A and B are shown apart, each in its own frame.
Chain A
Amino acid sequence: SQELEQSPQSLIVQEGKNLTINCTSSKTLYGLYWYKQKYGEGLIFLMMLQKGGEEKSHEKITAKLDEKKQQSSLHITASQPSHAGIYLCGAESIQGAQKLVFGQGTRLTINP
């Protein structure tokens, strides 16, 4: 089965600093999703990547999928307190299977 490894598991950054979260798999990633979750709440969809080398941006968040489709990164520029939360990467375990397996999450804290 597919396993997703996220790093780091937790991250504390000063407001205004940039940061990167990584998601790595030993197998090819199909439909790589990034979500944000606040404790006790649902998941907010951020971005989905499908093609090797694909990169998407929304506001100050950029997600990339490497050419081999085994690693994805989420980069936040000029972090703000509103970026705090748990970031989860998820991927289809089998191409077209729709169901997602998730990484363990990265807990992001932004210090003012």
Chain B
Amino acid sequence: GAVVSQHPSWVICKSGTSVKIECRSLDFQATTMFWYRQFPKQSLMLMATSNEGSKATYEQGVEKDKFLINHASLTLSTLTVTSAHPEDSSFYICSARDSPIYTQYFGPGTRLTVL
């Protein structure tokens, strides 16, 4: 199946700093990517839909100024957590949809820890 990568796989940062997470579709083009957040022992919660060449669509309750999303190309979307705080510590997972098959493939996730 199609492969989606994320970088970094884990990151530790100080409170107040910004962190960028990359999501790449390695062998297919994705006009739409999705960013999810997962807390321990909980399911995935959709944060936003990332559209190539246009603004992201955020889910209700997600601060767009805090979680900046950029979908610069058909294979790359980035999520920047700005002015991170300990409550932003979580597991962030991206997904991309393989258009011909219409299957969503997920990245391996990025564990963010804010001290």
List chain A positions with a Cβ less than 8 A from chain B. Answer: 31, 33, 35, 40-45, 48, 88, 90, 98-105
Contact = CB atoms under 8 A, between A and B. Distances in A.
Given A88-B43, A100-B34, A104-B42, A42 B109 contact: yes
B111 A42 contact: no
Most interface-central of A33, A43, A48 (chain B CB within 10 A): A43
| Chain B interface extent, by class | 20 to 34
A90 B36 CA distance: 13
Q: Shortest 5 CB-CB distances between A and B: which pairs?
A: A42-B108, A43-B106, A102-B43, A42-B109, A42-B106
14 contacts: A31-B102, A33-B103, A35-B106, A40-B111, A41-B108, A42-B108, A42-B109, A43-B44, A43-B106, A90-B44, A98-B34, A98-B97, A102-B44, A104-B42
Contacts of B42: 104
